[in-house]
């Protein structure tokens, strides 16, 4: 697989707003090794006088000032109003035939759940359905960072590792040192010279919460935590590029049967990150380097990246109660 961030010449790392429309503070890092269009980031952000995320935040603030109460069924475990995704998961499970009390105990114990959605939403997973012509997206699981039909959607692939290590990409020294032995992941084919980070650390400055306990952005602050010994580099997934859709494009692909939108708990999403991050090419062969020629007697120094993809893909489907052979009936 060709490198998407090259180290042919020293390159500096500049903070830019992400291409997806989220927050100006949700920083990604761009490795610059050549000419740059100075206003690219401004055009990608949209140039709004008042960004959409800011308007939404004000509406949410006004909404939060109005107290909400409800009276649960006596047999239904009480849930916080803010935990609406878990509440919805309980309702979906109950419709599947489980009793309210059993569902509540199960979710309270494991906190691992997933179920199909009628429509995609921010923070959901897009699970690729087996079909010809998917190319790099076969068996992928994408975390949807932003979704609005009329404006487009963006997300990051959770299960596509590469044999490249961060210290071979020519990034800024602080970031390269902090994550030097971490593999680079592919977030998608759009703007491959943008470096994104996913993690579960709320103390990373500049990170944006996608759902409760899952964050994107803040790679410089994350590297500072690692250098100070306050975080492990294995807590962070570094990704090149992102997956993007234009207005209504994702809806068209859903109608074509390309994706299954799945709501998943924070624990299920973090399981995918941990399983993917456990793939370490250097651990299989300490002398391994992506440019090194094959060694005698070592026919396959690394596990197959397709196996890593399929493991996460199958786990999410299993949590949603779907067997891969059933996908043709959905």
Q: 165 and 307: one domain?
A: yes
Among 235, 277, 259, 278, residue whose Cα is nearest residue 320? 259
Residue 205 has pLDDT above 70, yes or no: yes
- In the chain, what's the furthest Cα-to-Cα distance? 69
Higher pLDDT, 258 or 108: 258
Q: How many domains does the chain have?
A: 2
Q: 254 and 274: one domain?
A: yes
Q: Name residues whose C-beta falls within 8 Å of residue 51's C-beta, 6 or more positions apart in sequence.
A: 21, 23, 24, 45
Residue 153: inside a domain: yes
Residue 105 has pLDDT above 70, yes or no: no
Q: Name residues whose C-beta falls within 8 Å of residue 165's C-beta, 6 or more positions apart in sequence.
A: 180, 181, 182, 183, 184, 281, 282, 290
Q: Name residues whose C-beta falls within 8 Å of residue 155's C-beta, 6 or more positions apart in sequence.
A: 126, 142, 143, 144, 145, 146, 188, 242, 243, 244
pLDDT (tens digit per residue) in 45-70: 343 433 333 334 443 333 334 443 33
Q: 152 and 250: one domain?
A: yes
Rounded average pLDDT over 128-142: 92
Q: For position 33, what pLDDT does the model report? A: 31
Percent of the chain residues past pLDDT 90, beyond the cut = 42
Average pLDDT over the chain reads 73
Q: For position 330, what pLDDT does the model report? A: 58
Residue 164: inside a domain: yes
Question: H-helix or E-strand containing 264?
Answer: strand 259-264
Residue 107 has pLDDT above 50, yes or no: yes
Q: For position 199, what pLDDT does the model report? A: 97
Which of 111, 136, 160 is at the close of a domain?
A: 111
Residue 321 is part of which domain span?
112-289+302-330
CA distance 285 to 310: 23
Q: 188 and 173: one domain?
A: yes
Which of 59, 89, 111 is at the close of a domain?
A: 111
Q: 104 and 226: one domain?
A: no
Residue 17: inside a domain: no
Q: Which CATH number do you get for residue 168?
A: 3.40.1740.10
Cα→Cα distances 32→12, 15, 167, 189, Å: 6, 11, 16, 17
Residue 163 has pLDDT above 90, yes or no: no
Rounded average pLDDT over 223-245: 96
> How much is the pTM?
0.68
Q: 142 and 117: one domain?
A: yes
Q: 246 and 268: one domain?
A: yes
Q: 95 and 186: one domain?
A: no
Residue 17 has pLDDT above 80, yes or no: no
Q: For position 257, what pLDDT does the model report? A: 92
Residue 43: inside a domain: no
CB 140 within 8 A of CB 160: yes
Q: For position 111, what pLDDT does the model report? A: 79
Cα→Cα distances 278→174, 219, 235, 236, 282, Å: 23, 20, 10, 11, 11
Q: 227 is written with which tokens?
A: 């250098």
Q: Model confidence at 112, in pLDDT bands (50, 70, 90)?
A: confident
Q: 89 and 120: one domain?
A: no
Which of 111, 131, 158 is at the close of a domain?
A: 111
Residue 38: inside a domain: no
pLDDT (tens digit per residue) in 276-328: 888 766 554 445 454 555 444 444 445 577 888 888 999 999 888 888 767 76
Beta bridge partners of 155: 144, 243
Q: Identify the sign of the CA torsion 195, 199, 204, 209.
A: positive
Among 181, 143, 130, residue whose Cα is nearest residue 289? 181
Residue 83 has pLDDT above 80, yes or no: no
Q: For position 151, what pLDDT does the model report? A: 94
Per this entry, what is the length of the chain? 330
* Most confident range, picked from 191-195, 206-210, 283-287: 206-210
Alpha-carbon 16 to chain mean position = 19
Q: 148 and 99: one domain?
A: no
CB 4 within 8 A of CB 192: yes
Beta bridge partners of 240: 186, 195
Rounded average pLDDT over 209-227: 95
Q: 159 and 267: one domain?
A: yes
Q: 86 and 228: one domain?
A: no
Residue 243 has pLDDT above 70, yes or no: yes
Strand, helix or coil at 266?
helix
CA distance 310 to 36: 37
């Amino acid at each position: 697989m060709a490198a998407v961030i090259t180290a042919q010449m020293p390159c500096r790392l500049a903070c830019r707003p992400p291409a997806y429309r989220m927050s100006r503070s949700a920083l990604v890092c761009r490795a610059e090794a050549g000419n740059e269009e100075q206003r690219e980031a401004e055009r990608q952000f949209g140039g709004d006088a008042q960004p959409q995320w800011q308007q939404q935040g004000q509406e949410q603030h006004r909404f939060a000032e109005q107290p909400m109460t409800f009276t649960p069924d006596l047999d239904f475990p009480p849930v916080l109003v803010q935990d609406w995704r878990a509440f919805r998961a309980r309702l979906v499970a109950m419709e599947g035939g489980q009793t309210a009390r059993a569902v509540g105990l199960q979710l309270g114990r494991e906190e691992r759940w997933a179920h199909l959605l009628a429509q995609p939403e921010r923070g959901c997973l897009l699970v690729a359905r087996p079909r010809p012509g998917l190319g790099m997206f076969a068996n992928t699981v994408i975390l949807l960072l932003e979704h609005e039909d009329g404006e487009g959607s963006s997300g990051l692939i959770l299960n596509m590792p590469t044999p490249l290590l961060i210290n071979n990409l020519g990034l800024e020294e602080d970031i390269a040192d902090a994550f030097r032995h971490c593999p680079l992941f592919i977030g998608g084919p759009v703007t491959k010279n943008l470096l994104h980070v996913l993690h579960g650390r709320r103390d990373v400055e500049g990170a944006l919460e996608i759902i409760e306990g899952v964050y994107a952005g803040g790679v410089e602050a994350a590297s500072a935590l690692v250098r100070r010994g306050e975080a492990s580099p294995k807590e962070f997934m570094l990704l090149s590029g992102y997956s993007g859709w234009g207005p209504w494009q994702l809806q068209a692909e859903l109608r074509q049967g390309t994706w299954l939108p799945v709501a998943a708990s924070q624990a299920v999403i973090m399981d995918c990150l941990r399983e993917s991050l456990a793939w370490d090419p250097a651990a299989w062969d300490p002398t391994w380097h992506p440019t090194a020629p094959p060694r005698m007697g070592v026919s396959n120094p690394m596990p197959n990246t397709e196996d890593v993809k399929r493991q996460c893909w199958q786990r999410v489907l299993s949590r949603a109660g779907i067997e891969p052979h059933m996908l043709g009936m959905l």
